[in-house]
A = this chain, B = another copy of it.
Amino acid sequence: MQSSLAVAVDLGGTKVDAALVDDTGRVLPGSRHRAPTGNGATSEQLATSVRDAITRTLTSSARTDIARVTGVGIGAAGPMDIAGGLVSPLNLPVWRGFPLQALVADTVHVTVPDVPVTMRMDGLCITLAEHWVGAARGYDNVMGMIVSTGVGGGLILAGRTVPGPTGNAGHIGHIEAGGFDDPCACGGIGCVEAVASGPRTVAWANAQGWQGSTGEELAAAFAVGEEIAVRAVRRSGRALGQAIASAASLVDLDVVAIGGGFSHVSQTLFDEARAAVAERHQFDYVTRLKIVPSALSGDGPLVGAAALVHRSEMVR
Bound CA–CA A4/B200 (angstroms)? 58
Q: Judge whether B178 and A189 touch: CB under 8 Å.
A: yes
- Find out whether the CB atom of A164 lies under 8 angstroms from the CB atom of B285: yes
A247 to B176, CA, bound (A): 9
Inter-chain CA distance A164–B155, complex, in Å, is: 12
Interface residues of A in 249-291 (CB under 8 A from B): 249-254, 279-286
**Residue A45 is within 8 A (CB to CB) of chain B in the complex:** no
User: What string of 1s and 0s marks CB contacts (under 8 Å) between A203-244 and chain B?
Assistant: 000000000000000000000000000000000000000110
Chain B nearest CB, measured from A159 CB (Å): 10
Instruction: Give chain B nearest CB distance to A196 CB in angstroms.
Output: 13
Q: A186's closest neighbor in chain B, by CB?
A: B282
A295 vs B131: C-alpha distance when bound (angstroms) = 40
| Chain B min CB distance to A152 (Å) | 11
Majority-rule SS of A interface residues: loop
A247 in complex: contacting residue of B190, B250, B285, CB < 8 Å: B250
**Interface pair A79/B284, CB less than 8 Å apart:** yes
Given contacts A165-B140, A246-B246, contact A251 B155 (CB under 8 A): yes
Asked, given contacts A175-B246, A178-B176, whether A283 binds B168 with beta carbons under 8 Å apart, the answer is yes
Instruction: Let me know if A157 is at the binding interface, CB within 8 A.
Output: yes
A245 at the interface (CB under 8 A from B): yes
Chain B residues with CB under 8 Å of A115's CB are: none
Is there an interface contact between A188 and B245, defined as CB atoms closer than 8 Å? yes
* A246–B192 CA distance with the chains assembled, in angstroms: 10
Q: Choose among B179, B181, B251 the residue that contacts A250 (Cβ–Cβ < 8 A).
A: B251
- A62 within 8 Å of B (CB atoms): no
Contacts of A141 in B (CB 8 A): 164-165
Residues of the B chain whose Cβ atoms lie less than 8 Å from the Cβ of A170: 250
A110 to chain B, nearest CB (A): 32
Known: A178-B181, A181-B178. A283 touches B252 (CB 8 A): no
* A178 B188 Cβ-Cβ under 8 A: yes
Mask, A102-117, CB within 8 Å of B = 1, is 0000000000000000
A interface residues (Cβ-Cβ under 8 A, vs B)? 79, 90, 140-141, 155, 157-158, 162-182, 185-191, 242-243, 245-247, 249-254, 279-286, 316
Q: List 9 A-B residue pairs with CB atoms under 8 Å apart, sorted by A's residue number.
A: A158-B165, A170-B250, A171-B250, A175-B246, A176-B246, A178-B182, A178-B190, A188-B279, A188-B280
**Interface contacts beyond A162-B252, A168-B252, A179-B179: sample of 13 additional A-B pairs, CB < 8 Å, sorted by A:** A141-B164, A141-B165, A157-B162, A158-B162, A164-B251, A174-B249, A175-B175, A176-B177, A178-B188, A179-B180, A179-B181, A186-B281, A187-B282
